[in-house]
Amino acid sequence: MNTTQSVYPALLSALQASSPEEKCRQTALIFSGFSDGLFDNRPSEKPLDFREAGRPAKPELVPSRAVRARKMNTPEGYAAMLHAICHIEFNAINLALDAAYRFRNLPTAFTGDWIRIAKEEAYHFQLMRGRLQAYGFDYGDFEAHNHLWDMAYKTAFDPLLRMALVPRVLEARGLDVTPAIRAKVAQKGDLATCDVLDIIYRDEIGHVKTGNRWYQYLCAERGLEPTALFRNLVARYDLFIFRGYVNIEAREQAGFSRFELDMLEDFEQSLKAGV
């Protein structure tokens, strides 16, 4: 007799949880249940199509251009920077849960990978929120934008598109910007936040790597050439691949090939030159 339960109702409940504490709690339970073999990912009813995942009433979401730029050398400015990272991590929990929930008929390892990533994002969120609280602020105290989740929604109909554009573009951008943020935080002497950023950075390389692996897998399954397809998608979705500093080393660790990086750099140059 099969005693395992479908993981999908539990994933839906975690996705829809609006309180961050509750979302983190449910995510941890799903992770341990899935690891212990209590859940399975047998296809059941179709995934629910929702526009927004559960999130608290605050932070207030505003268009990305309307997020006020603050100077990091004021207490509010520094806290706003910590808050921005906190918000990214909160969205990342929803994004990972959504990948595990939405995309069905894939290997158990796919569902397991995104459940593990959701658990790691919940850990990042809790660590970063702790840093924000250490300065007398909390998650929700500043406005934020919804860029990450919007991309989740745009790519909700196809796991190949999701893998191509969320971990490999948006999360890989995190690898580019983290070293500069860490340097500023270190300059301020905030070593506790540096430690958190180091954990996030290390795990994030693994997440991009996981995205790369499943992107390659889905391309192979459909007989598509990964590099040419990626180039095409980037042009179609009008995305920035590189803007400012590019962390080639971290991207190579995350499974981007040297050839692919050279090709994309070249592509970015030709876009800028309007060729």
Residues that bind Fe ion (CB under 5 A): 89, 92, 121, 124
Encoded tokens for 4: 């395992």
Helix (H) or strand (E) run with residue 4 in it: none
Q: Which is nearer to Fe ion, 201 or 267 (CB)?
A: 201
Q: Which is nearer to Fe ion, 121 or 176 (CB)?
A: 121
Shortest distance (Å) from residue 105 CB to Fe ion = 27
Distances (CA, A) of 217 to 9, 57, 106, 223: 26, 38, 10, 10
Shortest distance (Å) from residue 9 CB to Fe ion = 25
Q: Which is nearer to Fe ion, 14 or 219 (CB)?
A: 14
> Closest by alpha carbon to 175, among 261, 98, 233, 259?
261
Contacts of 67 (CB under 8 A, 6+ apart): 84, 143, 144, 145
What DSSP line would sit under 19-34, residue for residue?
Answer: SHHHHHHHHHHHHHHH
Closest residue to Fe ion, based on beta-carbon distance? 124
Shortest distance (Å) from residue 251 CB to Fe ion = 16
> Closest by alpha carbon to 103, among 165, 147, 148, 49?
49
Dist CA 215 CA 232 (whole Å): 14
SS3 159: helix
Q: Which is nearer to Fe ion, 124 or 129 (CB)?
A: 124
What DSSP line would sit under 92-143, residue for residue?
Answer: HHHHHHHHHHH--SS-HHHHHHHHHHHHHHHHHHHHHHHHHHHTT--TTSS-
Q: Which is nearer to Fe ion, 113 or 121 (CB)?
A: 121
Shortest distance (Å) from residue 174 CB to Fe ion = 8
Q: Which is nearer to Fe ion, 86 or 219 (CB)?
A: 86
Shortest distance (Å) from residue 115 CB to Fe ion = 14
Shortest distance (Å) from residue 269 CB to Fe ion = 30
Q: Which is nearer to Fe ion, 83 or 124 (CB)?
A: 124
Encoded tokens for 216: 């390659």
Dist CA 130 CA 132 (whole Å): 5
Dist CA 103 CA 152 (whole Å): 12
Shortest distance (Å) from residue 215 CB to Fe ion = 19
